[in-house]
Every structure is written in C-alpha cells, then in structure tokens.
Amino acid sequence: MTLIAATPVQVPVAPPHATLGDRKWLLDCHCATPVVELLRHKGWDVSSDPYANVHCSSPDQLVYVGFLPETKEAARGELWHIHVKDADDKVAWSETFGPGVPAQAVAGFLAALIASPNRGCPCV
C-alpha cells in the first residue's frame, strides 16, 4: 500500500456569497411601498385611511394585508397584519411582522404565497 500526501484543505478567506454588508437594503425600508406595489400589480384592492394605515385585500377578498403604523397593535410591535380566511369567512390563520422587519421581507413572504395559489401539499 502506498500513501499519497493529500493537499491541505484551504478555508476561503471570504464567503463565496455576498455578506450582509452588501445587503444593507435588508435593514433600511420600513414603509409600505414594496408591499403595496407588489399587491397593486397583482390586482389587489389597496386603500389608506386618514391615519396612514394601508389596507390591502386580495381579488377574492380572502386575504387581508394591513400596514398599521398608527394602531395600538403597532405600539405592541405588530406593524404588519396578514389574515387568510377560509370558505366560511373565518380567519383560518394570521401572521404579524414587527417594525424591525423590512418591507421587502414582507413582500417576499406575500410573493411566495401568491406564487402558490393552489394546494401544493400532498398531505391535504
């Protein structure tokens, strides 16, 4: 048996992907614009109230997205509200995002939901 010396493994100095420093935009935007633009483009109803809250409803009226900076919920850390109704018009599930979550992240979450409008889970 002959032993051959292996080449030592070298750990890269920098990660092969971009670092957070290159993605400062992930920490910046806390307005409703990225979400509103996405939902308007998808045909959702968008309205605002005199208090700067923004309300969005899906074309079938089963999904509600609210950007609610001027509410008691926002004071508790719940800036974004998403509610999905079932066929009986009852809230089936909901999600909230706080003021520290950038609007692009909320838009990405919603874009993923919109991209999968049909049941994709084989267990259902």
Cβ neighbours, 10 Å, residue 39? 23
Q: Is residue 25 part of a domain?
A: no
Q: State how far the Cα of 69 lies from the Cα of 97, in Å rounded to an integer.
A: 11
Q: Is residue 86 part of a domain?
A: yes
Q: Is residue 73 part of a domain?
A: yes
Note down the domain range covering 103: 49-115
Q: Is residue 59 part of a domain?
A: yes
Q: Give me the pLDDT at residue 45, please.
A: 98
Within the chain, which residues score under 50 in pLDDT? none
Q: How many domains does the chain have?
A: 1
pLDDT tens digits, 83-117: 999 989 999 999 999 998 999 999 999 999 999 86
Q: State how far the Cα of 78 lies from the Cα of 96, in Å rounded to an integer.
A: 6
Q: Is residue 64 part of a domain?
A: yes
Q: State how far the Cα of 18 lies from the Cα of 25, in Å rounded to an integer.
A: 13
pTM: 0.75
Amino acid sitting at position 118: N
Token output for 105 = 């992240």
Q: Is residue 22 part of a domain?
A: no
Q: Is residue 110 part of a domain?
A: yes
Q: Is residue 94 part of a domain?
A: yes
